[in-house]
Chains A and B, each alone.
Chain A
């Protein structure tokens, strides 16, 4: 079965760079049509999409955060890494990674449990 799990720091200081890793099993990012996305949710607020990467290394970013985000994949390790620069307290949120089929719009059919990242000095 498909599983995903996010890992990374729980606390980062303002201006620092956040690096989150999504480790998955049950599928391969070298398989045609497969993608992994990152979505975040500030406490008590709505979901916000951040980035997507597909099996062919096609990458998509949220326009409002594009300058701060980088998404990469390591197919051999079954991992996707998201980096976000210049962290600010407003970036405090639970960060989720999720599996998505290519061309499916906002269809995220398997999600990780999420990891809460707090930005504070």
Chain B
């Protein structure tokens, strides 16, 4: 059972927009920065979003992040088949004094 809650799976058609939610509490998302990771099959996670909504160099602006209260959201527009992956949110939990990750969301682009 992950501290951060994500939907286990989502599916959408190419070209569409999808949002992935990440729900937490005041001890984690509510008072700390959120990061998002993309993990393509058989590869290491890749940082997509940090500090709630910033993109590292090289990440296309089709990917966006936002935070409101104790929830965060990853948005992906113009879906491509190459976006099929597992997506994880992560943040620091001030009470547990640990990095916490969500359970991951498997995105299918069909």
Chain A residues engaging chain B, CB cutoff 8 angstroms: 37, 39, 46-49, 52, 60, 62-63, 96, 104-114
Chain B residues engaging chain A, CB cutoff 8 angstroms: 2, 32-35, 37, 43-47, 50-51, 56, 88, 90-92, 96-104
Which one, B33, B44, B91, B103, contacts A46 given CB within 8 A?
B103
Neighbouring A residues of B35 by C-beta, 8 Å: 104-108
Mostly, the B contact residues are strand
Which one, A52, A63, A106, contacts B90 given CB within 8 A?
A106
The residue of chain A having its C-beta at the shortest distance from the C-beta of B43 within the complex is A113
Neighbouring A residues of B2 by C-beta, 8 Å: 46
B47 to A114, Cβ gap below 8 A? Answer: no
Interface Cβ pair total, 8 Å cutoff: 74
Mostly, the A contact residues are loop
B44 to A107, Cβ gap below 8 A? Answer: no
Count chain B CB atoms within 10 A of each CB in A47, A109, A110, A114 and give the residue with the most. A47
B102 to A105, Cβ gap below 8 A? Answer: no
Using A109-B50, A111-B45, A112-B44 as known contacts, say yes or no to A60 and B104 having CB atoms under 8 A apart.
no
How many Å lie between the Cα of A43 and that of B108 in the bound state? 19
Neighbouring A residues of B102 by C-beta, 8 Å: 46
Count chain A CB atoms within 10 A of each CB in B34, B43, B44, B47 and give the residue with the most. B44
Q: Closest approach, in angstroms, between the C-beta of B76 and any C-beta of chain A? A: 19
Neighbouring B residues of A96 by C-beta, 8 Å: 44-45
Count chain A CB atoms within 10 A of each CB in B2, B90, B98, B104 and give the residue with the most. B98
Q: Closest approach, in angstroms, between the C-beta of A115 and any C-beta of chain B? A: 11
Neighbouring B residues of A39 by C-beta, 8 Å: 45, 99, 101
